[in-house]
A and B are shown apart, each in its own frame.
Chain A
Amino acid sequence: MKSSNAKKRKHVSYTKWGYIFLIPFFLVYFIFSFIPMISTFYYSFFENYMSGLNVIGPKFVGFDNFVKLFTEADLLKYTENTLIMWVLGFVPQIAVSLLLAAWFTNTRLKLRCSGFFKTVIYMPNLIMASAFSMLFFTLFSNNGPINMLLMDAGIFKEPCHFMSITLGARSLIASMNFLMWFGNTTILLMAGMMGIDVALFEAAEVDGATSFQVFSKITMPLLKPIMAYVMITSLIGGLQMFDLPQILTNGKGGPDRTTMTLIMYLNNHLFSKNYGMAGALSVVIFIITGALSIVVFKLLTDQKEAR
């Protein structure tokens, strides 16, 4: 009895250390993330903006900012822009990544230099997005090298104004996103594919399945959880799209605000000190990403239980 008591006391004293080690994280989280988040929500209920040099408010206005946000057409337009550019980048990204991951993990193909290819396709992921965007801006500008090459080759007679056409500007942003993320997705999907039991593939081969059948009937269904994870984290990332369009269009979202994303909209409100609207917009983005985060959380915890 006595010894078990001593044991218990010892156990309790270690418990204390568990909490002590958590202090730095939670203290910093509380000061630099939690309080800012709560106060952002709080500001969303106040009228507070700059009119010329005068500060208007802060005055409590209830849900007025939200009403204004949803009745002005901007929110819908910018959400649409963001999603269109995400889809334009994500569809080729997932298609190419699936193909490459299937090839890299295919034991019959035995591709050489796969290490080299993986190194190359992952590289753009680490590049500074703002510098990458600036690079694309100069390369694709009206008298930039791409236009010169295309004109020398006789494809265009006059320089193509890529960034003054909606489709051109959106495609440039989508292609940068594609280049930056398909290598990363390939590596994630490869990890998923290598986790599939080899016996399944062998059995399929014995049964005479074609490689397309193997891919659609075995690989794809078993890859579902990781596909869902890739897609939702990419969507969360897509909703945060900022650096690329901000630098490419100098913050204007041109042409005619068709490449203006949600975070660029938020950034504009923050810089013009339009705090009430910035708060309301933050709450909307929080609700959307929060809902998506719960899905990611479910996927991660399910995966853990399955193991």
Chain B
Amino acid sequence: MKKQENSRNVGLSMKRIICYIVLIILSVACLIPFYMLFINATRAHVDIQRGFSVIPGKFLMTNISNVLNNSTILIVRGMINSLIISSLTVILSVYFSAMTAYAVHAYEFKLKNFVFNFILLIMTIPAQVSALGFIKEMNMMNLKDSFIPLIIPAIAAPACFFFMKQYMESSIPLEIVEAARIDGSNELHTFNWVIMPMMKPALAVQAIFGFVATWNNYFTPALILTSAEKKTLPLWIAYIRSADFTKFDMGQLYMMIAFSIFPVIIIYLILSKFIVQGVTLGGVKG
């Protein structure tokens, strides 16, 4: 009996070792592209051409200042544009998705089930299938090369709605709404000052995911934005890709990629626990 137990333990620790090996390999696979990016972003063009090195170079500040002073590829401008669009998008989508979810959660009305099912159904239909009509309509409304078509549609965000609805079901009891009514609070006031504060965890999770999704979005901005001053980061990445590659200072190029990747990684490392839990909470990938 004891022997069996022992062999079982040996088997278990063997298995544990295999698990760690696999996990370490996968982690390395996830990290190595970013490590190489970091290393090459700190090196000079000639050094990069000569071969790869494991230790960072000394050209970090030179590469940064080259990127900042580049007058054709406006990476910083792109970052500011991305930041403006992503922040406004997040505020709108989080607030109005919560509002829509609250309407379905707290009120009894005839079309309630229809509304819920309808939003659930359109949740997975990609925006790409209406892209043609979208650009034609924006041309007609004179909104080409404007941020408005990239920001306002965030008010109708089905996946965000679904997440908020799930969260409300588990943590907003309707008695609270009743209590607020008895206290004489009007419905909008109740939503803004009683419900929204209770939604903080859900709002934060959706704010992070919404921000990252907009920050990374390439398809729609590419169809709408045309002038250099308005371009967002992914459009500059596409521009770099289409430019003549051989004439590039590679150190600067790696630094430009780093500019679009590392801010998100830093935010992620600060909030990672929160984000990993958030994925499970929602069960829906954006």
Flag if A131 contacts B103 (CB, 8 Å). no
Flag if B52 contacts A148 (CB, 8 Å). yes
Is residue A184 contacting chain B, with contact meaning CB distance below 8 A? yes
Checking B23, B268, B269 against A100 with a beta-carbon cut-off of 8 angstroms, the contacting residue is: B23
Flag if A36 contacts B137 (CB, 8 Å). yes
Q: B201-243: contact bitstring with A at CB < 8 Å (1 yes, 0 no)?
A: 0000000000010011011001100000000011001101110
Flag if A130 contacts B102 (CB, 8 Å). no
Q: B113-133: contact bitstring with A at CB < 8 Å (1 yes, 0 no)?
A: 001010111111111111111
User: Which residue of the partner chain A has the closest CB to B260?
Assistant: A131
Flag if A300 contacts B276 (CB, 8 Å). no
- Minimal beta-carbon separation of A20 from chain B (angstroms): 8
With a CB–CB cut-off of 8 A, which chain B residues contact A268? none
User: What would be 14 A-B contacts, judged by CB atoms less than 8 Å apart?
Assistant: A19-B103, A28-B156, A40-B130, A100-B22, A123-B268, A126-B275, A128-B234, A131-B260, A149-B52, A182-B26, A242-B128, A242-B218, A250-B242, A282-B128
Given the known A-B contacts A24-B155, A108-B12, are A233 and B124 also in contact in the complex, defined by CB atoms under 8 Å?
Answer: yes
Is residue B99 contacting chain A, with contact meaning CB distance below 8 A? yes
Q: Tally chain A residues at the interface, Cβ within 8 Å.
A: 99
- Considering only residues 78-128 of chain B, those with a C-beta below 8 Å from chain A are 96-97, 99-100, 102-104, 106-109, 112, 115, 117, 119-128
A40 CA / B272 CA spacing, docked (Å): 40
Of A1-9, A83-91, A114-122, the segment with at least 4 beta carbons within 8 Å of chain B is A114-122
Given the known A-B contacts A187-B279, A289-B126, are A119 and B215 also in contact in the complex, defined by CB atoms under 8 Å?
Answer: no
Checking B102, B122, B223 against A270 with a beta-carbon cut-off of 8 angstroms, the contacting residue is: B223
Flag if A270 contacts B261 (CB, 8 Å). no
- Minimal beta-carbon separation of A41 from chain B (angstroms): 8
Is residue B184 contacting chain A, with contact meaning CB distance below 8 A? no
Chain B interface main SS type: helix
User: Which residue of the partner chain A has the closest CB to B51?
Assistant: A148
- Considering only residues 1-34 of chain A, those with a C-beta below 8 Å from chain B are 11, 14-15, 17-22, 24-26, 28-29, 32-33
- Minimal beta-carbon separation of B110 from chain A (angstroms): 8
- Minimal beta-carbon separation of B192 from chain A (angstroms): 11
A285 CA / B126 CA spacing, docked (Å): 9
A39 CA / B134 CA spacing, docked (Å): 9
User: Which residue of the partner chain B has the closest CB to A127?
Assistant: B261
With a CB–CB cut-off of 8 A, which chain A residues contact B71? none
A56 CA / B79 CA spacing, docked (Å): 39
Flag if A296 contacts B40 (CB, 8 Å). no
Flag if B152 contacts A128 (CB, 8 Å). no
Closest 10 CB pairs between A and B? A18-B107, A36-B133, A21-B103, A39-B133, A29-B156, A37-B130, A145-B52, A40-B133, A36-B134, A36-B130
Q: B141-155: contact bitstring with A at CB < 8 Å (1 yes, 0 no)?
A: 000000001001101
Is residue B197 contacting chain A, with contact meaning CB distance below 8 A? no
Q: Tally chain B residues at the interface, Cβ within 8 Å.
A: 96
Is residue B6 contacting chain A, with contact meaning CB distance below 8 A? no
A11 CA / B51 CA spacing, docked (Å): 74
Is residue B196 contacting chain A, with contact meaning CB distance below 8 A? no
With a CB–CB cut-off of 8 A, which chain B residues contact A37? 129-130, 133
Known pairs A17-B103, A184-B279, A293-B121. 15 more at Cβ < 8 A? A19-B103, A24-B99, A32-B153, A33-B156, A43-B133, A109-B15, A128-B218, A128-B234, A128-B264, A145-B48, A188-B279, A243-B218, A247-B238, A250-B241, A279-B132
- Minimal beta-carbon separation of B161 from chain A (angstroms): 7
Flag if A289 contacts B124 (CB, 8 Å). yes
User: Which residue of the partner chain B has the closest CB to A233?
Assistant: B285
Residues of chain B having any CB pair with chain A under 8 Å = 12, 15-16, 19-20, 22-23, 26-27, 29-31, 33, 36-37, 40, 48-49, 51-52, 96-97, 99-100, 102-104, 106-109, 112, 115, 117, 119-137, 149, 152-153, 155-156, 161, 187-188, 191, 212, 215-216, 218-219, 222-223, 233-234, 237-238, 240-242, 245, 250, 253-254, 257, 260-261, 264-265, 268-269, 272-273, 275-276, 279-280, 283-285
Checking B51, B100, B130, B241 against A282 with a beta-carbon cut-off of 8 angstroms, the contacting residue is: B130
- Minimal beta-carbon separation of A130 from chain B (angstroms): 4
User: Which residue of the partner chain A has the closest CB to B131?
Assistant: A270
With a CB–CB cut-off of 8 A, which chain A residues contact B128? 240, 242, 263, 266, 282, 285
Flag if A136 contacts B51 (CB, 8 Å). no
A119 CA / B120 CA spacing, docked (Å): 29
Is residue A275 contacting chain B, with contact meaning CB distance below 8 A? yes
With a CB–CB cut-off of 8 A, which chain B residues contact A263? 128, 219
Checking B27, B131, B222, B269 against A117 with a beta-carbon cut-off of 8 angstroms, the contacting residue is: B27
User: Which residue of the partner chain A has the closest CB to B39?
Assistant: A145
A148 CA / B135 CA spacing, docked (Å): 44
Is residue A55 contacting chain B, with contact meaning CB distance below 8 A? no
Is residue A272 contacting chain B, with contact meaning CB distance below 8 A? no
A123 CA / B34 CA spacing, docked (Å): 11
Checking A129, A266, A267, A286 against B216 with a beta-carbon cut-off of 8 angstroms, the contacting residue is: A129
User: Which residue of the partner chain B has the closest CB to A251?
Assistant: B242
Flag if A137 contacts B285 (CB, 8 Å). no
- Minimal beta-carbon separation of A21 from chain B (angstroms): 4
- Considering only residues 184-204 of chain A, those with a C-beta below 8 Å from chain B are 184, 187-188, 190-191
Flag if A123 contacts B30 (CB, 8 Å). yes
- Minimal beta-carbon separation of A140 from chain B (angstroms): 10
With a CB–CB cut-off of 8 A, which chain B residues contact A42? 133
